[in-house]
Amino acid sequence: MDLTSWLLRHTPPRPLVATTPGGTEARLAVERVIRERGWRVAGSPAEANILVVAGPVTNQMQPYVQQVWKLVPAPRVRIEVDTAAAARAELNAAARTLRDADQQRQQAIRATQDTHEAPAHEQDEHEGDGDSGQSEHSQHEQHSGEHEQHEKSDDQGHNHHGHDMGEMEMPGGVPMADRAEDRDGLMLDQLHVPLGPLLPEWPAGLVIRTTLQGDVIQEATAEVVGLGAAPREPFWTDRSSPPVEAARRVAARRLDSCARLLSIAGWPDASSQARGLRDQVLRGEHVTETAKSFARWARQVRRSRMLRWSLAGVGATPDDPSTPPALGADALTRLHTWIASASAAFDQSKLAEVHESELDGAREAQWTLGVLPALLEGEELANARLLVASLDPDLDTLTHHEIHHG
């Protein structure tokens, strides 16, 4: 056995889970298997050696998948899990491929050949499409440069310093910054950074295009891509299910949102516990034991001083009757609201009387897309993913509609 083979055999799998529209059920199955295996989930492509795409990969989503894949270092494996039933077999196969030295060498050779054979303009389009030079929170897209080239002149219609800044790039493919006035009237560098649609712990299909000065978001727009393959009945709010089953899914969805927010907030243990509780609620098994575990977990989360410090005041939503009940106030309040909503899974009277608004995921998603740009403006980039996770829209409820909000 050579050194490469020995190292691969002792390489722990680090999956990065990216979800496409319509991939919720597949994602849940993937996360369950990963937790059973005891694998650590990667927080970014640079940490990963297995890229798991949960959900259907349409022609529209394929370029985004390719962009993330290029950021995953070797040795690496990519799998597509489009159904829950395929999760276990695909992840087992991925682990075998990751540790197969011959397959990894062949893959490296093919990647080198593809790079050399690609036309120059294609290489220019794809090189550096990612967050390697910016932040874990950003994911550069091949279309971002096109958008930037239309906004390079100053108020007099002249390019800055006599140069076309849109034609220039810094090392790594990062676009050259514009210059524009900040809120104090100072001329500062301005970058256009897209977030999504395949970030970890991110709503499937959501793309947020930001304009940054320093690390502060000056402008933002939100849109949804790839909804064509999403099912007409979203997993979380499938109204064809029996009432008790539908109510149980609502509770599980709130636990899922808690898990994603806790993960982004930097508490992986509490996030993992929330995912385990979510899966137990979905199965409807061992209700008494699960209720005790839920109560311990909820008490621990509610009492966390660190969470209060990191979430209080983040993403405060309008105090308006149009604001969905589960999305009012700030991130900390929303987390506590979700916990209270999830508790219904352990009370038969509450489970049978789940409020109709809890089943209206489309209203929450539409409202979230409408307010996100305003909520993000003025926030630091580091808070963007935290803010989005605290709203966690189920965009599958917007099936077959392409939506844009400025």
Greater confidence (73 vs 351) lies with: 73
Task: Decide: helix, strand or coil at residue 305.
Answer: helix
Token match 């839920």: residue? 294
Q: What is the DSSP letter of 380?
A: B
β-strands 50-54, 77-81 pairing: parallel
Confidence bin at 90 (pLDDT 50/70/90): very high
Mean pLDDT of the chain: 81
CA atoms in the 13 A half-sphere facing the CB of 83: 3
Domains: count for the chain? 2
241 shares its domain with 381: yes
Amino acid at 105: R
The pLDDT of residue 356:
55
325 located within any domain: yes
The pLDDT of residue 399:
74
Last residue of a domain, one of 117, 147, 169: 117
Confidence bin at 355 (pLDDT 50/70/90): low
Q: What is the pLDDT of residues 141-182, one digit of tens each?
A: 444 444 444 443 344 343 433 333 334 444 444 555 555 555
Task: Give yes or no for a contact between 165 and 158, defined as CB atoms under 8 angstroms apart.
Answer: no
- Residue 217 dihedral angles phi and psi, to the nearest 5°: -80, 115
The pLDDT of residue 162:
35
Q: What is the pLDDT of residues 16-28, one digit of tens each?
A: 999 999 999 999 9
Average pLDDT over residues 242-260: 87
Confidence bin at 137 (pLDDT 50/70/90): very low
CATH assignment at residue 48? 3.40.50
Last residue of a domain, one of 117, 145, 160: 117
CA atoms in the 13 A half-sphere facing the CB of 234: 23
217 located within any domain: no
Greater confidence (141 vs 372) lies with: 372
Token match 């304009």: residue? 211
Q: Determine the Cα–Cα distance for residues 93 and 80; give it in Å rounded to an integer.
A: 11
143 located within any domain: no
241 shares its domain with 378: yes
Q: Determine the Cα–Cα distance for residues 265 and 382; give it in Å rounded to an integer.
A: 11
Q: What is the pLDDT of residues 253-291, one digit of tens each?
A: 999 999 999 999 999 999 999 999 999 999 887 788 889
The pLDDT of residue 286:
75
The pLDDT of residue 210:
94
The pLDDT of residue 129:
41
The pLDDT of residue 186:
52
Task: Give yes or no for a contact between 226 and 285, defined as CB atoms under 8 angstroms apart.
Answer: no
Task: Give yes or no for a contact between 215 and 208, defined as CB atoms under 8 angstroms apart.
Answer: no
Is the previous residue joined to 175 through a cis bond, with omega within 30 degrees of 0? no
146 located within any domain: no
The pLDDT of residue 351:
58
Last residue of a domain, one of 67, 90, 117: 117
Closest residue by Cα to residue 376 from 129, 194, 135: 194
The pLDDT of residue 133:
37
179 located within any domain: no
Q: Determine the Cα–Cα distance for residues 265 and 347; give it in Å rounded to an integer.
A: 29
The pLDDT of residue 344:
80
19 located within any domain: yes
Alpha carbon separation from 369 to 150, 241, 257 (Å, rounded): 25, 27, 17
63 located within any domain: yes
Greater confidence (370 vs 3) lies with: 370
25 located within any domain: yes
Closest residue by Cα to residue 17 from 36, 44, 56, 38: 44
Structural domain span for residue 375: 231-405
242 shares its domain with 109: no
Task: Give yes or no for a contact between 206 and 393, defined as CB atoms under 8 angstroms apart.
Answer: yes
Amino acid at 362: A
Q: Among 209-218, 313-322, 330-339, 356-365, which stretch is predicted with the lowest mean pLDDT?
A: 356-365
Greater confidence (7 vs 162) lies with: 7
106 shares its domain with 243: no
The pLDDT of residue 87:
97
pLDDT score of 72 more than 80 = yes
Q: Determine the Cα–Cα distance for residues 28 and 256; give it in Å rounded to an integer.
A: 9
Residues in the chain: 406
Q: What is the DSSP letter of 233?
A: S
Query: Considering the chain, what percentage of its residues have pLDDT values greater than 70?
Result: 75
The pLDDT of residue 349:
58
- Residue 50 dihedral angles phi and psi, to the nearest 5°: -130, 120
110 shares its domain with 253: no
